Structure 1
Amino acid sequence: MDATERASDGWEPTLAAALLGAERAPTAASSALTALVAEADPSAALLARLAAEGAHHLAGQELGPEALAPLEARGRFGPDCPPAAATRLYALLTEGHGARNRVEEWFERAAATGTRPPAWLLQALMLQRGTLPAAAQAVVGADLDWLARACGESPAETGAADASDWTEGTVAERRAAFTAFRARDPEAARAALEPVFRREKADLREALLHALATGLSAADEPFLEACLDDRANGVRLAAQRLLPELPRSRYAERMAARARAALAVESKRRLLGGTTHTLVVTLPEESPDLVRDRVEPNHWERRGGGTRAGLLRAILARAPLHAFADHPPRLWIELALRSEWADPVFHGLFSAAKRTLDPDWSRAMADITAEAYEGKVTGVRRTNEVLGMWAEALDLLPDAEWEARVAALIRARKIEVVLAVLGQGPEHFSEGFSAALLDWLALVTRGSDSLRRDLAKPWVIARLGDRLWPGDDSAASAAAILARLPEGEGDRLRTQLTGLTSVLELRAAIRRDFRPETTTGGTAQG
């Protein structure tokens, strides 16, 4: 500052007055800041002047008028959320790692209601921007970019990467940029990659090859096939993971031929009518061609002496399902369960069905494993392993169909089966299924001591809080179940029900927070 600027700065006179004391200080020269001081008491007025002039002095130190620019206006991307929702978000942000799922749920609710956090929350959000859930970007990303620019920082990269961006940066940055390029134009991305691929380092080749999963199509097959002979093991593995996703590729046809050579159905007509079917299994031999296609038994299978069985399982897992088109899925699965090679054959076929999510195979898997556990498949014993197969097979079904089948099990009071299947299934339950499941929980907790012990063993209840419908009715039902739990019940079940109730009450409260206030001071229903 020059002498003229210092003379117009009220900081030094105010500081001198503070050193002299309020009663001995001369009357303050009139200024814009002095006029803002409203305190009648001289001491209070001097302190107010000191604070105002000090802030003004520091803010303008070494800065000329040309350095002062008006702040960019904060855009209007939607109305602020209700005050209760804003307060809730602040509490969730300060609770630590345990509230991460609830923060994500808060932003999902904000997106659904078209609202955003108010300005006073932006600093707290900016401090945790790197750990915010993906749902936060659509709600508050533009606001945080605005705040970053206002503070002289570079806002986060939110736009799609240019086609040329993938050629520079770290491995992670280049993979992210190439994935974005691939999402926009799969053909152009692969065409740009092929000429330079061999010149890149192994870790980058592997990362870029994984990015081809975005927009994968039959046009990628020649490039992926060539990668099977890459000198880097990670690159070969990446190609071996992607090629089974192309059901008409040369890789798939090699697997289909191997599957047909390993499995066949032998049919014979009976003298009294009808036909009997037998599964004929031919175990494959190890070969370099199988290794090239990533058909190898794992370490446990080798050590246990089941190398050829492990090869069979790996072949079936990677084979396209059209390799078994000569017979319906139901026949293959039933014969697999009856076979002396049931473990590699069934699990190989199951892996293929899981990879493709073919609806016919998925339903057949669920139907046959259910019948096997109920003792309706000749030669298959009712075991916990079969029950586990049933639970995994149900998980292949669409969410609505899974809920319908489990709801039928609930109505049939098949408690052990319901407990087994609840460990899998949809990430979030529908409102109707949640109500039925909570009714079932209430029934079981009012049953025998052994039933309650079975309910507590797998810690299934502890994981239901995130999956049940987060409404007021769900929270009230969970609280009622906890309140009616018999006195003296073990800590494990009580702890799980307490946690379930707390999570559902919090999730229901988040939804209530977003309801607009009515003119009577209550909340609107919705």
Structure 2
Amino acid sequence: MVARTTAPAADGWEATLAAALIGADRAPPGPEDEAFADLGPAGDPAGSLLARLAAQGIHRLAGAGLAAEALTPVPPRDLPGPECPPAAAARLALLLAAGPSARSRLEEWCDLAAEAGIRAPAWLLPALAPYRSLWPRPIERIAGPEIAWLDRACAGGAAEPEPPAQDWTEGTPAVRRDAFAAFRERDPDGARAALEAAFRSEKAEMRQTLVDTLDVTLGEADAPFLEACLDDRASGVRAAAQRLLARLTRSPFAARMAARARTALAVETKRRLLGGTTHALTVTLPEEAPALARDGIEPRPYRQKAGGARAGLLQEILAQTPLHAFADHPPRLWIELALRGEWAAPILEGFLAAVRREDDPNWARALTAVLGEAHSGRLSGVRPTNELRDDWARAAALLPDAEWERLVEDLFRKAAVEVILAHLAHAPPAVSERFTLAQLDWLAAVTRGPAGMRDALGRTWLIDRFGERAWPGEDAAAQAAAILARLPGDADERLRRQCAGLADILDVRVAMRRDFTGPEGA
């Protein structure tokens, strides 16, 4: 008679492990006699799987000889909102698996989830956690409390999370920077006073970091301290102070720049014998000087081929000069006179930089209008060139987004392809639905137009960037697909690839939104 041996009853670990490997939604139900089959919330396979794994772990630790205090329970999870719909969760899993190639879409997914007030699924938190440093705000909103809970649980204890550092004088440079920025947010004057008291005892790299952090709530009251930093022995500290002082338009630094600009540029007004007045711009190129160097204005080697070192000094002075220094005459007069003179390039570059720094819409409009007239041949004494076309596009990019869109939409109807491409190269990071459809109409016309126009479009690679900036609507996605389907047979392969990429990007971006707002997410 053969003796029969009975195998010990399985504890369910193998079935639980299999479910974790193939996915809770796809795994078959466990055996009815499974010890932990009833754990977890009903109707939530992922939650049940996590509960079973936790119970299995405790079951296996039961004979390990651990003291009771070694098994400290972790507090319940703090859920920041409803979990995202299954379709959105599946999309997030694909984006995380794709790696760096899907970084833009992953960031967009996080932003969409944060705007919708929903959280990432629990089973994807470990894969999402490494991106906290890249996009701290959206990830904090969609997964922050749960990732913090997971960190504490994996650390083996239920300790409360450490509060943000309050003492900016201790810790790593990154910790100190963050603590000082928080201090600066709470008490701008107090933070600056504390920095002044301890500044000389800091190492050069830390001094630069802390000066840069004054950017938080920067104000005119910071000017005296930043002025003192111009004499710091570390070049990084001096450069940081110069960058911040240039943004304080009423500081002593700004006054020095204004005085230099008025010395370099002067408008001479003469009355005509028969009535009226004429204006001329007198330019006096600055000389290299220690006082200029202290404010960060020094000759650059590359300037030897771009108008000379002194022209470079003029450009940098104008770039740091507050625009109110030119209030004696309208912006348009300064720009017109500069374009007609010998030193048009450095003066124009200086004006562009100053307007960009101050974000002044009136100067931006004047620059755009005058340069547009000059490029079209409507400004007397100025010959149209390709450089003027590019300067016009850069000036237009300083306009408020809605004004830039209206300008380019008008160009879609009447301008040459090269002009439009120059402006599209400086498009804002995101454009409106109306502009998206207008640009798609223009792309459709160009891609079905003469080969020369198609080639010019394909060489710019603007179509690729447009996919990231465009408004992701159903109509836009359909129009992009139609552009690809209607490309002529002799279209360049480079253009064909770009059109295919545009259609794919818009299709994915529209589908992502559908994941959140479709029937499953309603």
Q: If the length of structure 1 is used for normalisation, what is the TM-score?
A: 0.86
Instruction: For residue 507 of structure 1, report the CA deviation from its aligned partner.
Output: 0.5
Letter in 1 for 2:86: P
Helix, strand or coil for the counterpart of 2:114? helix
Superposition pairs of residues 145-224 of structure 1, within 5 angstroms: 145-152=148-155, 160-162=164-166, 164=167, 166-224=168-226
Q: How many Å separate the matches in 1 of 2:245 and 2:428?
A: 28
Task: Give the equivalent residue in structure 2 for 1:97.
Answer: 100
Contact 2:81–2:119 under 8 Å retained in 1 = yes
Q: Quick one: structure 1 residues 488 and 319, their matched pair in 2 at CA, closer, same or farther if it must change by over 3 Å?
A: same
Moved more, 265-274 or 439-448: 265-274
For 2:90, the equivalent position in structure 1 comes to: 87
Q: Say whether the 8 Å CA contact 2:165–2:175 is kept in structure 1.
A: no
Against the structure 1 CA distance between its residues 271 and 101, is the aligned structure 2 distance closer, same or farther, given a 3 Å change threshold?
same
SS in 2 for 1:489: coil
Q: Within 5 Å, give how 1:30-179 maps onto structure 2.
A: 38=32, 56-58=59-61, 60-126=63-129, 128-131=131-134, 134-152=137-155, 160-162=164-166, 164=167, 166-179=168-181
1:256 corresponds to 2:258? yes
For residues 320 and 177 of structure 1, what CA distance do their matches in structure 2 show? Answer: 32
Matches within 5 A, 1:426-505: 426-505=428-507
Contact 2:95 2:102 in 1 (8 A): yes
Secondary structure of the corresponding residue to residue 250 of structure 2: coil
Matched AA of 1:491: E
Report SS of the residue matched to 1:198: helix
For residues 324-363 of structure 1, the aligned pairs below 5 Å read 324-363=326-365
Contact 1:160 1:180 (8 Å CA) reproduced: no
Letter aligned with residue 221 of structure 1: A
Give aligned pairs, total: 482
TM-score, structure 2 length as denominator? Answer: 0.87
Q: Which amino acid aligns with 1:136?
A: I
Q: 1:280 aligns to what SS in structure 2?
A: strand
Instruction: Identify if the C-alpha distance between structure 1 residues 305 and 448 changes in structure 2 by more than 3 Å, giving closer, same or farther.
Output: closer
Letter in 2 for 1:457: R
Instruction: Classify 1:282/1:464 alpha carbon distance in 2 versus 1 (closer, same or farther; 3 Å).
Output: same
How much has 1:369 moved relative to structure 2?
A: 0.8
Gaps of 5+ in 1: 1-20, 31-35, 41-51
Letter in 1 for 2:256: R
Deviations 1:334-382 (CA, angstroms, capped at 9, x unpaired): 1111110111111112211111111211110111111111111112221
Equivalence for 1:24 = 5
How far, CA to CA, are the matches of 2:3 and 2:226 in structure 1? 83
| Bigger mean CA deviation after superposition, 114-123 or 356-365 | 114-123
Contact 2:397/2:427 (<8 A) preserved: yes
Aligned residues: percent identity? Answer: 55
What SS does the corresponding residue of 2:279 show, helix, strand or coil?
strand
Cα displacement (A) at 1:127: 5.3
Give, in angstroms, the shift of residue 129 of structure 1. 4.4
The alpha carbon displacement at 1:58 in A equals 4.2
Aligned residue in 2 for 1:394: 396
Pairwise CA RMSD: 2.6
Write out aligned runs for 1:230-245 (5 A): 230-245=232-247
Tell me the distance in 1 between the aligned counterparts of 2:185 and 2:500. 45
Deviation at 1:63, TM superposition (A): 1.6
1:291 pairs with 2:306 = no
The residue number in structure 2 matching 1:270 is 272
SS in 2 for 1:375: coil
Name the SS for the 1:142 alignment partner: helix
Q: Which residue of 2 aligns with 1:227?
A: 229
Report the Cα offset of residue 158 of structure 1: 8.9
What's the CA shift string for 1:272-300, capped at 9, x where partnerless? 33211110001111111111111112111
Query: Does the Cα contact within 8 Å between 1:103 and 1:133 map onto a contact in 2?
Result: no
For 1:301 and 1:26, how far apart are their aligned partners in 2? 86
Give unpaired runs (5+ residues) of structure 2: 12-29, 35-54
Q: Which has the larger radius of gyration?
A: 1
**Structure 2 CA distance for aligned equivalents of residues 370 and 412 of structure 1:** 14
SS in 2 for 1:254: helix
- The SS at the match of 1:95 is helix
Is 1:317 aligned with 2:298? no
Per the alignment, in what secondary structure is the counterpart of residue 353 of structure 1? Answer: helix
Shift of 1:488: 2.7
**How far apart are 1:134 and its partner, in Å?**
4.0
Q: Matched residue of 1:203: which SS? A: helix
| Alpha-carbon distance, 1:383 to partner | 1.2
What is the distance in 1 between the residues matched to 2:72 and 2:112?
Answer: 37
- Return the match for 2:383 from 381, 385, 390: 381
Q: Secondary structure at the match of 1:381?
A: coil
